[in-house]
Amino acid sequence: MKKLLFKKKKDQGIPSQGLLTIEAVPDISPQDRGSTSSTKKIPPQPPATPWKLFLLFAQITTVTLGGGYVIVPVMGGALEKKGWMGEERFYDIFARAQLFPGPFALSTALLVGAELCGFWGAFAAFWAVLLPPFVVIVGVSKLLLTYQEVPQVQAFLQGAGAVVPGVIAAMIWKNLKRFPWRIHRLIALGSLTVLLILLPAYSIYLLLGALPLLYWWEGLWKSSK
């Protein structure tokens, strides 16, 4: 691309007047200007495929200790880093996955795979979540039983156990930040928590009775505003 530059040039025969001339100058891109512009173009991330999704989830489930509450936030961070799914969308899927029976890490992976790559994405996510832990448990369980008294092995297990609560707390905090807390919600959930602690034998009845009451109170609060 070239830009037209208008400038005045004095004529040799008429020094008091100027002639308007037009010169073509090349357009300099931001990359060629050096210090004049620091804008950098971020290269687009490659799209997700069933095979790439399988490799990503398999790497996570192979080395992650602590169950679904640890796998899920690591999975969400990896998807966001790849540019395949944003944090908000991932945790919306995670909330929906908890309605399905079975391990919620598996349900979350299935829904994420279906969202990104359809049926084959869900198929790849299913095997990526189940197969690596099964192989690791079968292969490592005998070694752990044999070397569990070794100080280095004990230190590794203790260190992994110390990390798990932090990862779970980070996931809970991310979800709490997304939820619009109000005083009536805090009172309702706090009261339900106290009742569940004091009356554990009636937890099922308390939960079944509390759900419609919470929905009713939420609607009453909205209508009063």
Same domain, 101 and 134: yes
On whether both 17 and 85 belong to a single domain, the answer is: no
Same domain, 77 and 141: yes
Tell me, yes or no, whether 134 and 63 share the same domain: yes
Closest C-alpha among 113, 27, 103, 40 to residue 67: 103
pTM of the model as a whole? 0.55
195 found inside a domain: yes
**Which parts of 18-74 are beta strand (E)?**
18-26
Mean local confidence (pLDDT), 39-43:
47
- What is the number of residues in the chain? 225
Residue type, 50: P
Tokens in use for 135?
């192989």
Tell me how far apart the alpha carbons of residues 133 and 121 are, in angstroms, rounded to a whole number: 19
For residues 75 and 129, membership in a common domain is answered with: yes
- The domain of 205 spans 189-224
Do 79 and 139 lie in one domain? The reply is: yes
Same domain assignment for residues 63 and 145: yes
Flag whether 125 is in a domain.
Answer: yes
Place of tokens 């929906």: 96
* Residue where a domain terminates, one of 97, 128, 150: 150
d(CA 192, CA 10): 89
| Distance between CA atoms of residues 68 and 102, nearest Å | 11
Q: How many domains does the chain have?
A: 3
Q: Based on DSSP, count helices (H) and strands (E) in the chain, helices before strands.
A: 7, 2
φ/ψ (deg, to 5) at 3: -110, 150
Q: Tell me: do 71 and 134 sit in the same domain.
A: yes
Tell me the pLDDT of the chain averaged across its residues: 75
Phi, psi (deg, nearest 5) at residue 99: -80, -15
- Domain co-membership, 95 together with 140: yes
Q: pLDDT, tens digit, for every residue of 119-162?
A: 999 999 999 999 988 888 887 777 777 777 888 877 877 776 67
Residues 56 and 96 in one domain: yes
Residue 171 lies in a domain: no
With a pLDDT cut of 70, the percent of the chain lying above it is 66
Cβ atoms of 83 and 47 within 8 Å: the answer is no
Looking at the structure, do residues 66 and 129 belong to the same domain, yes or no?
yes
In order, the DSSP letters of 137-205 are HHHHHHHHHHHTTSHHHHHHHHHHHHHHHHHHHHHHHHHHHHS---HHHHHHHHHHHHHHHH-GGGHHH
Confidence of residue 209 (pLDDT cuts 50, 70, 90): confident
Per residue in 88-124, pLDDT tens? 899 889 888 888 888 888 999 999 999 999 999 999 9
Residue 39 domain flag:
no
Is residue 183 in some structural domain?
no
Mean pLDDT over residues 41-70, rounded? 81
114 within some domain: yes
- pLDDT at residue 202 in the model: 82
The conformational region for residue 29 under phi > 0 = left, psi -120 to 50 = alpha, else beta, is beta
The token pair at 46 is: 């490659």
- The answer on 24 and 75 residing in a single domain is no
